[in-house]
Amino acid sequence: MPAYAAVKHLLFALCWWLFSSASYAEPHFNITQTRIQSQGESNYLLYATIAYPLTPRVIEAIENGIPITFTQTLRISTPYLFIGQILPWRQTQWSTIFHHQLRYHSLSGQYILQSFSPKQQHNFPDLDSALNYMGKLDGVAISLPELSRPNAQLELKTEIDIHALPTPMRPGALISSKWQIASPWTRIAWPD
């Protein structure tokens, strides 16, 4: 009888944890208005709008001068069916990552956004302006390789790069849902 009671309490605790964690969904980044425009042989311009809602923990870190790195990953992938229709699989044929680092400079009261490809720096008076600028991909020049399969898909994803945080912050960020903010892979239609 005591073993049954222990299992019952364990199952109750597990169910409570699952339902309570599902009700407190953390924000995620949202990618909309995606399109790609051809500029000749394998040269394209990428357009997209990304909303970056941040958790209070991430905002607090930025306001305390911690640099936060955001990545925007663009990939060409091909879907495969693995084990019949049960398990879909994607093979990445090509990918590139754009890195942006956001930090707050307390002496000037400015938010500094550094882009690493191409290397640029912009200053903003408030956090929302910096996030809106980073989320506006307006004619980003990219060079895509020739495709080997006709069903290849172009997809975009953005997330916080937890591994770029200062070393003392990484372990906590890796296990905290307050830092696990990303967008799902968003398909971009090929140009006609």
The pLDDT assigned to 144 comes to 85
Instruction: Mean pLDDT check: name the lowest of 91-95, 149-153, 160-164.
Output: 149-153
The pLDDT assigned to 169 comes to 94
153/111: higher pLDDT: 111
DSSP 12-67: HHHHHHHHHHHHSPPP--EEEEEEEEE-STTEEEEEEEEE----HHHHHHHHTT--
Residue 21 belongs to some domain of the structure:
no
Instruction: Mean pLDDT check: name the lowest of 24-28, 80-84, 169-173.
Output: 24-28
Identify the bridge partners of residue 73 per DSSP, sorted by sequence position.
97, 157
CA pair distance 176, 165, nearest whole angstrom: 13
Closest CA to 68 of 114, 40, 101, 34: 101
Residue 170 belongs to some domain of the structure:
yes
pLDDT 10s digits, 122-139: 999 999 999 999 999 999
Residue 16 belongs to some domain of the structure:
no
Residue 124 belongs to some domain of the structure:
yes
Greatest mean pLDDT range, 7-11, 144-148, 170-174: 170-174
CA pair distance 49, 72, nearest whole angstrom: 12
3-class SS of residue 136:
strand
CA pair distance 61, 102, nearest whole angstrom: 11
Q: How many domains does the structure of the chain reveal? A: 1
Mean pLDDT, to the nearest integer, of 38-62?
93
pLDDT 10s digits, 71-109: 999 999 988 776 666 667 888 889 999 999 999 999 999
At 8, is the pLDDT very low, low, confident or very high (cuts 50, 70, 90)?
low
Residue 151 belongs to some domain of the structure:
yes
CA 71 to chain centre: 6
Residue 22 belongs to some domain of the structure:
no
First to last CA, the chain: 69
At 16, is the pLDDT very low, low, confident or very high (cuts 50, 70, 90)?
very low
What is the residue range of 114's domain? 27-188
Residue 20 belongs to some domain of the structure:
no
Mean pLDDT, to the nearest integer, of 132-151?
84
Residue 6 belongs to some domain of the structure:
no
The vertex-165 CA angle with 159 and 168, nearest 5°, equals 140
Mean pLDDT of the chain: 85
